[in-house]
């Protein structure tokens, strides 16, 4: 097999144009053939048992970690709680007396933002570019060979966000297959908005600034300065890369936060002079009135609570499974029962973890109610015991 590699000098950022990007992209293409080379790594009963013993140590870490995660899910500071009951900026004195935040509603103003030479300036608050390259990557596969599991590696091609490390080690490096550097430059930028309220301008601090309920950036062909082929939400450097990509082809997309300059927006925090600053580490900027912004933030906080709760369940269920890993490994080798028996035990562990974490969450969240019930139970026991003594006398 022969490889033909074109070597070229890397120009500086100031010389980027659509034409030379396309020219260089076409120049560095070479034909590839998919070739699977097997590096067998057999894993028998002894190897599985050894790995499961190592898993026991990890399980001992995950089990206590699950309680830390569920505690954080319940007790962490949340913007929807800390900023609740905020006063209008006109009542800032009252807000400070009662330890509350303030808010104001108006329209957002910000400098136009775009990527120079690529994306036209528009109503964007943040703009982030994500690049991908069609290149080589190592893929680990496995297959059953009798009682053993054989692992092997294949050098395949796919769209990669980190092509430089995807081809390192295992097969691709041994075959001498490497990915070129990105030709299309990266880009990430943001602007600082201000709030216009009846002729008054409020600046908004960068610190702890959080956009809530704002539209996401949606870049289309109409927003581009150059003619980039567009497909499935991504821009390609040329038509060939869009239809039949080869190693070295690149594509990119954009994400970020947009805004409507004519729509109502609300800022919630603490006003210092003419600048909105964080209140207890929280500063919200959102579309709509105060109630709309707080409702959107409450939904976001609830979502993160569920995500953290799910992580706690996974930690506890996974930790218990790893803790009895050696036993589960032995069960897998029992005829008929095998994988089904081990899988059933794991299911029971995760069901138990869900219930245990749910009870733990409620105990932490409503500790005062638990304490009250405990005191009432003690009082009831003492009262009953005293009544029995009176009857006995």
Pairing verdict, β 200-204 and 275-277:
parallel
Of residues 27 and 208, which shows the higher confidence score?
Answer: 208
User: For residue 323, what pLDDT is reported?
Assistant: 87
pLDDT of 310 > 90? The answer is yes
User: For residue 217, what pLDDT is reported?
Assistant: 96
Instruction: Please enumerate in sequence order all residues whose Cβ is within 8 A of that of 215, keeping only pairs 6 or more positions apart, or say none.
Output: 257, 258, 259, 260, 287
| Average of per-residue pLDDT across 329-338 | 70
Pair 310, 351: CB distance under 8 Å = no
Of residues 169 and 146, which shows the higher confidence score?
Answer: 146
- Ranked by mean pLDDT, the top range of 43-47, 104-108, 162-166 is 104-108
Of residues 266 and 335, which shows the higher confidence score?
Answer: 266
Reported for 350-358, long-range contacts at CB under 8 A and 24+ positions apart, including other chains, are 350/313, 350/317, 350/321, 352/317, 352/320, 353/66, 353/313, 353/314, 353/316, 353/317, 353/320, 354/313, 354/317, 356/316, 357/66, 357/70, 357/309, 357/312, 357/313, 357/316, 358/309
pLDDT of 2 > 50? The answer is no
Q: Residue 189: CA atoms inside 13 Å, Cβ hemisphere, count?
A: 14
User: For residue 30, what pLDDT is reported?
Assistant: 36
DSSP single-letter state for residue 263: S
pLDDT of 35 > 50? The answer is no
pTM score of the predicted model: 0.73
As a whole number of angstroms, the distance between CA 131 and CA 167 comes to: 17
Element (H, E) at 81: helix 79-82
Q: Residue 120: CA atoms inside 13 Å, Cβ hemisphere, count?
A: 11
Domains of the chain (ranges; CATH) run 53-75+297-393 (no CATH), 83-110+192-213+260-288 (2.40.50)
pLDDT of 304 > 60? The answer is yes
DSSP single-letter state for residue 99: T
User: For residue 116, what pLDDT is reported?
Assistant: 95
Q: How do residues 350-365 score in pLDDT, each as one tens digit?
A: 999 999 999 999 999 8
User: For residue 47, what pLDDT is reported?
Assistant: 63
Of residues 128 and 323, which shows the higher confidence score?
Answer: 128
pLDDT of 161 > 60? The answer is yes
Pair 152, 175: CB distance under 8 Å = no
User: For residue 331, what pLDDT is reported?
Assistant: 76
User: For residue 169, what pLDDT is reported?
Assistant: 64
| Average of per-residue pLDDT across 83-96 | 95
Please provide the average confidence, as pLDDT, over all residues in the chain: 85
Confidence of residue 393 (pLDDT cuts 50, 70, 90): low
User: For residue 219, what pLDDT is reported?
Assistant: 94
Residue 211 has a CB neighbour count (10 Å cut-off) of 18
pLDDT of 207 > 90? The answer is yes
First-to-last C-alpha distance (Å) of the chain = 103
User: For residue 354, what pLDDT is reported?
Assistant: 96
Element (H, E) at 130: strand 124-145
What backbone torsions phi and psi does residue 263 show, to the nearest 5 degrees? -90, 160
201's tokens? 């301008």
pLDDT of 104 > 50? The answer is yes
Of residues 264 and 30, which shows the higher confidence score?
Answer: 264
Residue 280, class by beta-carbon neighbours within 10 Å (0-12 exposed, 13-18 middle, 19+ buried)? middle
Confidence of residue 86 (pLDDT cuts 50, 70, 90): very high
DSSP three-state, residue 336: coil
Pair 25, 238: CB distance under 8 Å = yes
């Amino acid at each position: 097999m022969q490889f033909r590699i074109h070597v070229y000098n890397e120009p500086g950022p100031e010389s980027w144009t659509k034409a030379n990007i396309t020219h260089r992209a076409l120049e560095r293409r070479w034909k590839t053939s998919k070739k699977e080379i097997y590096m067998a790594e057999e894993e028998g009963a002894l190897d599985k048992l050894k790995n499961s013993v190592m898993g026991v140590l990890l399980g001992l870490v995950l089990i206590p970690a699950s309680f830390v995660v569920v505690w954080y899910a319940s007790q962490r500071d949340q913007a929807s709680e800390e900023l609740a009951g905020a006063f209008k900026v006109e009542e800032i004195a009252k807000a400070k007396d009662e330890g509350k935040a303030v808010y104001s509603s108006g329209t957002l103003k910000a400098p136009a933002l775009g990527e120079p030479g690529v994306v036209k300036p528009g109503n964007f608050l943040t703009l982030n570019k994500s690049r991908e390259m069609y290149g080589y990557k190592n893929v680990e596969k496995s297959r059953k060979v009798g009682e053993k599991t054989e692992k092997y590696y294949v050098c395949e091609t796919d769209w990669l966000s980190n092509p430089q490390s995807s081809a390192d080690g295992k097969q691709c490096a041994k075959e001498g297959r490497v990915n070129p550097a990105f030709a299309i430059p990266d880009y990430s930028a943001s602007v600082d908005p201000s709030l216009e309220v009846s002729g008054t301008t409020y600046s908004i601090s960068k610190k702890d600034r959080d956009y809530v309920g704002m539209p996401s950036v949606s870049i289309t062909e109409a927003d581009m300065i150059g003619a980039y082929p567009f497909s499935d939400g991504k821009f390609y450097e040329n038509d060939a890369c869009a239809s039949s990509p080869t190693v070295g082809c690149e594509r990119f997309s954009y994400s970020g936060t947009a805004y409507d300059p004519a729509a109502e927006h609300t800022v919630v925090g603490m006003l210092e002079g003419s600048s909105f600053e964080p209140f207890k580490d929280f500063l919200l900027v959102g579309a709509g009135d105060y109630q709309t912004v707080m409702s959107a933030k409450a939904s976001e906080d609830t979502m993160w609570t569920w995500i953290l709760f799910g992580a706690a369940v996974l930690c506890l269920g996974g930790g218990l499974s790893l803790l009895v890993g050696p036993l589960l490994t032995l069960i897998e080798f029992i005829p008929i029962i095998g994988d089904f028996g081990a899988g059933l035990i794991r299911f029971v562990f995760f069901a138990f973890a869900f219930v245990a974490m749910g009870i733990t969450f409620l105990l932490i969240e409503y500790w005062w109610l638990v304490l009250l019930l405990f005191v009432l139970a003690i009082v009831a026991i003492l009262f009953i015991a005293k009544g029995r003594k009176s009857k006995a006398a």
